[in-house]
Structure 1
């Protein structure tokens, strides 16, 4: 169990679930050619999970002092697992992830795509060791890395199977995946800032200069409120423009994505305590989850409308 805690297995399961949803509840239902076999797609998921797990391990190693203050009950490195063992896990997981990435890049005859896996692994290391100290930039990188796990599906499974005959249809599918990547980026960026608000005491005592520490809690909440408004406006416009004729999708989006976002925005205004920010972080996690599931609802509603 301590090793599962080290790699934050709940987040990894969410990541794998997301990639499975996009493949088997969207791509395979879109009647398009796909570049990867089921086995190779499984390898893509394993690669993504290994690199992300390595990122969590190096983050736990670098966060020992902060976790001792802010989350002593969650601390693993230096308590139940030695730092040396944790470093070995980080190296092993990263090598496996990047190695599989090299293999898959050659399978689709795009060897240069292997650089994406190296880039992500490098960013995770640099974030944990240096960039976390820079307000906002660290949050942006973490949010970007989650969205990359969606973009990578488009690049490895859709793009290589595109030719002159199917490029219009494949372009539409590619574009939908990018839209979801943007959604994941915005929601996760907001969540990362909320987590900084939640961990402000530990970060302050260990000298980590996050956005709430740099500009204060109230100004940070204003920025988060602004980002939330942007997210609601973009989602409402997207639903009205592209999905308005799909009744189930509209109801789903209002009830499980836009509605909870509005709830989040209202609760944010009065949030002050650590537990309140933790609750808001959980709300955003659920919004992200239901946002991912929405692709299956869209496919189902489209089938009903064409039946």
Structure 2
């Protein structure tokens, strides 16, 4: 009984199940409120093709977290000992078995829908593996690719509905910037483990001070994006982007004040919470 409980706990930790649930929920919310607002809620929820896209996204993302956990084995032992313990309640061999099983399921489902869906998710699986295996060690690509990977599944529903506008681009860039800032702070937080494992992150190559300058630049870009999004008729989500202006200013100030790993974790969690608030704010779009 206890063994099963710990295996379930290990699976949830390894696959970041909560993150995947939020990702799938977000795909449905942007479909309902942004990409196909003219369709009824019932028709979208019962849309089988949309369900399959969300399902395949969920399974491929779960497998992505598993392979990322596999390659981060030694680094997480140093940087996140508690998460390391939870993430390895399932043996490495079993993690790899689940990883390949999930990818096989994705391939079978996607090829049964269309060749384009198969190619789209095959590339998604491949780029996650390449990022986990090699790219994350290169400071010049790691943060950009990591943020792009998170956004990539949303293009699945965008392509499905064929809706692409300047407003959608700005909203995607806003999310990309928040994700990029989150990853920069993560690199500051994981400095010790990255240095031991010889990861070439921006803080390792250029130091903490210059990393904060880069973060401040992207904070400024996020600030500008927030102001531009206020010009669109987005309903009550207007207030989310208005508050984002103040949030990013305060967050940047504390970025320069904070200097230790614990406080960097707080900054990273604040970004996560703000992204989560943004997800539920989608329901305010009219």
- 1:151–1:177 CA contact under 8 A, matched in 2: no
For residues 150 and 29 of structure 2, what CA distance do their matches in structure 1 show?
15
- Is residue 141 of structure 1 aligned with residue 145 of structure 2? yes
For residues 287 and 225 of structure 1, what CA distance do their matches in structure 2 show?
17
- Is residue 65 of structure 1 aligned with residue 74 of structure 2? yes
* CA RMSD between the two structures: 2.4
Q: 1:195 aligns with which of 172, 186, 200?
A: 186
Query: 212-221 or 180-189, which moves further after superposition?
Result: 180-189
Q: What residue number does 1:81 align with?
A: 90
Q: What residue number does 1:154 align with?
A: 158
- Is residue 269 of structure 1 aligned with residue 272 of structure 2? no
- 1:146–1:184 CA contact under 8 A, matched in 2: no
What TM-score, normalized to structure 2? 0.88
For residues 232 and 277 of structure 1, what CA distance do their matches in structure 2 show?
21
Q: 2:13 aligns with which of 1, 5, 9?
A: 5
Q: What residue number does 1:121 align with?
A: 125
Superposed, 1:87-106 pairs within 5 Å as: 87-104=96-113, 106=114
For residues 224 and 211 of structure 1, what CA distance do their matches in structure 2 show?
11
Q: What residue number does 1:242 align with?
A: 232
Q: What residue number does 2:6 align with?
A: none
3-state DSSP of counterpart to 1:29: coil
- 1:26–1:296 CA contact under 8 A, matched in 2: no
Q: 2:205 aligns with which of 210, 214, 223?
A: 214
- 1:57–1:86 CA contact under 8 A, matched in 2: yes
Q: What residue number does 2:247 align with?
A: 260
Q: Tell me by how many angstroms 1:171 deviates.
A: 5.0
Q: Tell me by how many angstroms 1:181 deviates.
A: 2.4
Q: What residue number does 2:23 align with?
A: 15
**269 and 243 in structure 1: CA distance in 2 versus 1, 3 angstrom threshold:** farther
- 1:5–1:76 CA contact under 8 A, matched in 2: no
Deviations 1:144-196 (A, max 9, x none): 1111121111112x12xxxxxxxxxx555xx5444332222221111111111
Q: Tell me by how many angstroms 1:73 deviates.
A: 0.9
3-state DSSP of counterpart to 1:30: coil
- 1:198–1:278 CA contact under 8 A, matched in 2: yes
For residues 125 and 77 of structure 1, what CA distance do their matches in structure 2 show?
22
- 1:51–1:121 CA contact under 8 A, matched in 2: yes
Q: Which runs of 5+ in 1 are unaligned?
A: 160-169, 300-307
**176 and 238 in structure 1: CA distance in 2 versus 1, 3 angstrom threshold:** closer
Q: Which runs of 5+ in 2 are unaligned?
A: 1-8
**65 and 3 in structure 1: CA distance in 2 versus 1, 3 angstrom threshold:** same
For residues 262 and 77 of structure 2, what CA distance do their matches in structure 1 show?
18
Q: 1:47 aligns with which of 47, 56, 78?
A: 56
**62 and 224 in structure 1: CA distance in 2 versus 1, 3 angstrom threshold:** same
Q: What residue number does 2:176 align with?
A: 185
Query: 10-19 or 285-294, which moves further after superposition?
Result: 285-294
For residues 24 and 78 of structure 1, what CA distance do their matches in structure 2 show?
34
For residues 282 and 86 of structure 2, what CA distance do their matches in structure 1 show?
38
